[in-house]
Structure 1
Amino acid sequence: MDRVAERELLRGAARGAVSGHGIAVLVEGGIGIGKTALLDDLAAYCRELGMRVLRGAADDVDQRLPFAAVSAVARAHQGRDEDLDRVTGLLRGRDALTRSVTAAHHELAVTEELLALADRWLSRGPVALILDDAQWADPSSVVLLHRLAHDIGQVPLLLVVCARALAQGEALDGLQRGLLAGGALELRLDRLPEPAVVELAAARLGAPPGPRLRRLLGTAGGYPLYIETLLTAYAADGLIRVAGGHAELSGTVDPDAVPQPLVELARAQAALMPRRYREILQAAAVLGQTVDVAEVSAVLDEPLMAVSEVVGDAIGTGLLVDDGHCLRFRQGLTRELLDRSVPEPVRVALHQRAGRMLTGRDGAPERVAAHLLAGGDLDADDLRWLAAHADALTVRAPDLAVRLLQRATADPAADPVLRTHLVRALLWDGDPAQAERVAQAALAVGGDAAQEPDLRWLLVQACCRQGRLREAIDAIEPAVRSPYTSLGQAARFRGTAAICLFLTYRFEEAVAVADRAVADGEAAGDAEAIGIGCLAKAVGLAKDDMAASLALTELALSHLGHGIRPDLQVDPYVLKGICLLELDRLDEAAEATAVAVRHNQRTGGVFLTTAHAVRAHVRFLQGRWDDALAEVRSGLDGPDPLGHEPRLLALADLIAVHRGDPPGAELPADTGDTDDRYLVRWAQALAVEAQGDPQRAADLLRPLWAQADGLEARRMMYRVCPDLARAAAAGGDHVELRALADELRVIAAVQPTPSLAGCAAYCRGLAEGGAEPMRAAVASFREAGWPLYEAYGHEAAALALASGGDLAGAREALRLALDGYGRLEASWDMARARARLRDAGVRDGARGRRGRPKHGWDALTDTERTVAELVATGMSNPDVAAQLFLSRRTVQSHVSSILAKLALTSRVELAVAAAQRPAPP
């Protein structure tokens, strides 16, 4: 039988996926080479194996529509899976404008939901996802395929991507490289050899072909589609007869005169159709890859039964296929040829008629818009439809929305409502500069007074999204003065202005504007305005009074509720996490930042990386370094619109240095963000100290502390002080140490927290000598929940006791320091403490607490052990994440770490290993 080797390769991949070792397969071949037949066989086999089969084909008509290819694949399961139906609502753009700030962020949110859905399905059983015609896949679907293939070997997933040629665009070319780099199989379909052609013909005709028929089949070049087309056409015309045990051509046929290219065959086939059939199928081809019988009937004004008869015949001949959910052309090329055979004026008229006919139905807005764009000028009914459906169209197909709205507003007398929709669509499509220009022009022309507040709000957002905060403030001035702006709207404008003022260091103005925003919001009874005003005040207070900032942030959240605007310039959830972090309420900060991560994943928010970074910082301070690294990996595994990669890499490097490993990142000399800057410099300084140069480490940290001002207040970076003090003490600079201690004491008096008190006591102890300040530092750090710093205190106390002659006390303090470092696996700190105390005449006399082994169940952290136990029970990553208050990405990071430590390769193996593991005594 033909394609035996290829079929067995795909079936073997399916069996591997069922056993828990997923794999991706790239199938590539020319037109008519037999790709579809091979996928038919694979899909049937996967169903026999009990796999959930998701199969579909990308459509050249829908390449501009986000997630069009994914929607085609998922269509077979819609209405049969509650989780999928919920995600389908997101695919259709339900509530998107109130959840996300741009199309890109909405697509991120949808991608996360789809990945979570895939995780849930894969936890229940093996899945086969088969995408045909991938050369027409939209970019959003390509990104999802990339993400699905990440760590595919750990899950029971078979991912098959089939295309005419994968290198037909940057996105697909990137997908090909990414999948192959991840270990995907590559299957290139070549022409069938002659024995396979003979076998195919024999199966089709019921007898092996004779010599003349073999010559005819030889002109097909080994392409199954060519062969099937020839056999079907000649058999239908009675030109092939079976006699004497062979199938042979009739004597009137010249086997050498048949055209070879499929294009010629398809055109000849179309030319031989009766005129009425050809016109109906041409119209169907113009209208798209899928065929809506009622739509074709209405556009052509043909009786429904007449169109149904043609469609039935086309299904019978294999021109169309019914996959159980829609009718479509079996071959994209056939549709292309039929489409091109229609004269341009007729094609335009068909699109125009289809668009106008569909405006009266509850059809997909993107389908209507595509027809209207291809149909020429817009009439009054078209414009009314567009005004009513612009928001839905903007979310579903932003590119189409922008182009159609630009056409609709080309006339200076265009409806002002459409201009506002155009500005919103441009913002959603990620073009704030053009949105600003259109908004400014629309405001200059004037028009509908009711549109002015919305238009000005969009103008402010366009400025903010370009980072032009001063221009945003300037744009707010006329907005609050406008007679068309309500009191509540003015309060929202003022709250936004206050945030921008704080972020541009105009603090006194910001406070006054924020107070006015809250007062106006209360007068108007506008909860959202009150929330924005409170949030603005919280931003301003964060540098001076964390407790007050936290109280205002929680008040803002209570007013904003779950309807937090996606266009806020500050994330209240992240701000709450930062406040709790600065107040040493680390467990609460971990919970708040988990909420921030989930909120940003759900909305595709720009603060997702920020939330992971803050959460990683919390885990670093808590000494849960593997958890911190999982958060770092999660933060790096996604978009980074605010540029926080240096912060994440710096945290990873801090942990690496403490553990005695070389730093893994080339950190920049400077960054634009305050937190990023001090963390990067801190990591660099610690690496230098670990190499034996504490003086240079102090030189790196000293200017960072000395120059801190404004939003870069020392209150936000005091965690570097113990390391700065230790490096300065190594150089004997006691003047600097006393100054550092005094500065920390002042800061701690203004905003007292245990960690600040601990840092002040630590620096005072190094400046003055004696063990008592260090004991106070240890107590404060223990209260703050900072185990690394607690061990710092014990180490410094041991040195102070040794210098005072109390060697027994020094040995005990050293033991406590080594025990603390051991729990953290901080081998550099252990080595440093031993060396310093050895120089002071103190030996610990013991190996100290041993770190965890590198491999096996005992190598797992507490979090990893819990994740492993839950995964082994069959829970999906999203379900584990919900139970442990983590993100799905972080759970996946933990799973990868668990499998590496246990020398396993899949979740199935993990479940088996967990079941076979003896119960602990």
Structure 2
Amino acid sequence: MQEICHIAEQREFTAVRAEAQDFPPPAADRPVLAVLDDLHVYADQALLSRMTARLAQLRHQPQVWLLSLRDHAYGLDVHRFVRALEEWGCTRLALGLLSPEGVRELLTDILGAPPDPGLMELAGEAGGQPLLTVALARGLREDGQVRVVDRTAVVTSAAVPARVRSTVNCLLTDLGEQTQDMLRAATVLGPEFGVGDLAAILVDVPPAGLAACVQRAIDIGVLDCRSNDRLAFRYELVRRAIVESTALGVRQVLLHAASAPTSAGRRPQPGAPGGPTHLPPEAPRLSAAPFVVQEDSIAILFVRAVSLLHKGRMEQARESAATLLRGCVASGEATGQALAMLVQSVCARMGGQAAEALRLSREGAAVIPPGKSDLIGEVITNCVALELSLLGETAEAEQLLRKAACWEGPNGTPPASLVLGTTAARIMSVKGDHRKADQWIEAAVGVVNRPERWLLPLSSAIRALAALRSGELSTAERLVARCQAESQPGRLELCAQADWVALQVATERHGAAWGVELLTGQYAHLIAGPSLFVEEPGAAPWMVRTALAANAPQLAEEVVRAVQTLADDNAAFQPLTVSALHAGGLLRGDEEALARARSEHRAVWAAAWAAEDLGILLLDRDTGEGAAGRQFVAARWLYEEAGALRDAARITARLTRLAPPPAAPVDRPADPGQALTGSERAVAELVVLGMTNRQVAGKLHLSSYTVNYHLRNIFRKFGIKSRVELARWYQDYTAATMRPVTTRSSRPTRTLRSGIRST
């Protein structure tokens, strides 16, 4: 931040490092850079209120804010404020770890000489974490543990400097006493340890409490999940700092507890989630019989599984899941079985084994008992439903949520967790209800918990897709930027939705040529990897169409080869078969293949693309506008069913160019309720009351673009050209059909619902 302030001053800004009570500084005529470090530490309601009140004024003032805060270290109020900043278009920069060269430069700047290999090895214990690396360098200098020899900085003592111990203590203060006690116990177990080792020492801590402590330590970045269901300190320097900050007598007590037998007179089996991962030398080896999983350990196992998957350790995750499944089958633990099959399904899906992934997901859903379960059971149920939806089985996903009493449906109570909100929104998005999907995620994001933050990129991607389908391209771009900011560098996302939506939005904005450039560069992995083609049957045909539009036939052929190979390897997975048929038919100009794809696609949006592709092919071959027009009409209705209003509007414009509609049709619908969709009825009712498009949009929670789209459809269906004609025709119709309705005051009145009624 000092460097940024220095650069700002060089550009004639006045850099102001304000205290929390003085932030934000008053407006000035000159350019000002206002800096507030560690917002998560100083934020309170008064500060957040002052900053929120000033947001609107920043657009008209020469003032820039530079705020820093630590992930996983702030509460709901700060989370909402950060969301508000993003809504205003503020830029969010995620600071990653330092590279080895960056560590070398930092040590050179602080110590005045380049480090020797021994000092670099010591600095490696900080893992490139900037705060720890700076504390180490300054601490070594302050404690006289480094000297310069032949213009090279050489470390003279490997003891942890006092500044590092103080820094680590400050980091751990926010974790609470119980988590700090857990970490002290963990230090005596060595660099790696098992949860069972901790449980053997902390005998007074219940399993659920221990799981919460481990989760907090993982969230803040102190602990990490390794292979074979083991935990480890992410930074060796932190472990050594805790060791050296713990009194010798306390360490001896912990070591004694670690080597003592359990209260039952024997140790749990090694490797079991409830037992230690190693045995002392004098302990006898136990048989390799399947272990029994304790229900309280499922939460910890879930955290480990997610961590392994995000790190791309698929084989280790698969092996751990197989071991867990054997233990859960032996004990009859249903939640653990569902978790194991969920992990195996994710590994299979991301590895291109779509049919196997679907089988595993269905088996996982089958073992989940009906009715309410505990918190971790509900989380795993939601994740299994999400996995089913990513495999194209939204009906089965919704059925599972209802069976487990997790979800009441689109009209039920808003979600109380991000995992349920994201799962339900994904289901509704696939079914075409993008507006409800956006609303549910918006409600869920307000109550997001730390363990759920891995879902934020997917939730933002679903919202961005909703905006894109509704024609709100600027909103979609803003949500894509948020999605990218929420993605952590180096973390493998467990589905391809975020990149898929970002690709569509960028192509919609900049054209097919830019889409091809992205597909051959930044998003080339979407073709090389199987995830997207498994999740989205319309992705491969979309890529082929984009490539052909940009005169890139080689890319189109590459996409067809990739999806066809995947379909051949998954003959039992129908969505891939149809996707390959559609993409190949589009590339070859095969009418029969496109017609089959239109009828066999189960994804409505993909079926709409097939109908449109077939219509374009028929039109290009001059087979008559009638045949092409019928395909375009079918495509428009399918797009409307999929909630893709922008695509539907494109088809409407094409149909208008083919055959302009007559000024007034001979046969108007006898009943407008039979002719209009539910959304069109709602718009019509408000328009005839004299509301503007903006007022209707606010009333129905739609965009003005969407209202205008529905209004054009109403005009087309009734053969009218203006709102005045709609009101006049509607008045003539209702004069003959409206009936008196008795209200609570017993006075007869009339209602618009009696004229335009639901069917």
State the TM-score, normalized to the length of structure 1. 0.41
Compare the two structures and name the one with the higher helix fraction.
1
